[in-house]
Structure 1
């Protein structure tokens, strides 16, 4: 399971880094894409914090300057690898409070997979936003990453 999640987080890191690098080259990044990518970074951070039993430094929809994206992204990745490296039971149930103050319990496996799936979902929305703004989206399909 560790190998599986490390591979997924490598792929997630690769995709997000491609978006960050691309955003730095664009004259104007669409506002919606900036909001969505900040949300990807925030949610990843929040889920890592929940797993580690730490308070989150970010709210779900706080917007970060593009210049800060790489540092936040790197820290998210480092934290996720810390989690997967130290995990001895991916079926372990973790209690947490959502952003609305409701209590939930999920397995570590479900929480880690959610981070990846959530990021993929919003990267798809960013690709659509790019197309809607006449910007060619980056190809981020998993199969291309594996080639």
Structure 2
């Protein structure tokens, strides 16, 4: 199971990094919503990691400096791999969401959630890219595996 999650985390990081590269090369074409969603993808993974490893978390919708995006993506990946290697996937994490409500989920559920969450928002960005005349990237998992 851990090997499968390592693969999914690598997939997630790869396409986040590609999206960051495209953003940095086309900042003038990216609108506010696209920029917000890109930052939100990175922020969400950092927040979920921080709930597990008990560190200070980002704001859900904070805008990060452009020059830090790749570093944040890499740090997110490394922290997620560390969690995967050092913690039990069945371990239950108690946390408070951004609205202040208390919840509990397993590490497995959390990892699956933020990977799926990232995929969802990358799809939204792809649609928005097309609307502004940019060629969207195909971030489907199967295309990643075909490389």
The normalised TM-score by structure 2 is: 0.94
2:25 is equivalent to residue 25 of structure 1: yes
* Structure 2 equivalent of residue 145 of structure 1: 144
Q: What is the aligned residue count?
A: 145
Q: Deviations over 1:97-132 (max 9, x none)?
A: 111111100011000101100100100010011011
Aligned to 1:124: 123
The alpha-carbon distance between structure 1 residues 18 and 102, as it changes in their structure 2 partners (threshold 3 A), is same
Equivalent residue for 2:49? 48
**1:1-147 matches, cutoff 5 A:** 1-28=1-28, 29-56=30-57, 58-87=58-87, 89-147=88-146
Whole-angstrom CA distance in 1 between matches of 2:51 and 2:78 = 15
Conserved? CA contact 1:2–1:84, under 8 Å: yes
Deviation beyond 2 Å, 4+ runs, structure 1: none
Work out the CA distance in 2 between the residues paired with 1:138 and 1:34. Answer: 16
Question: Cα 1:69–1:27, aligned 2, differ >3 Å: closer, same or farther?
Answer: closer
Aligned residues: CA RMSD: 1.1
Deviation at 1:27, TM superposition (A): 5.0
Any stretches of 5+ residues in structure 1 without a counterpart? none
CA separation in 1, counterparts of 2:27 and 2:42? 22
User: For structure 2, which runs of at least 5 residues remain unmatched after alignment?
Assistant: none
In the superposition, the TM-score normalised over structure 1's length comes to: 0.94
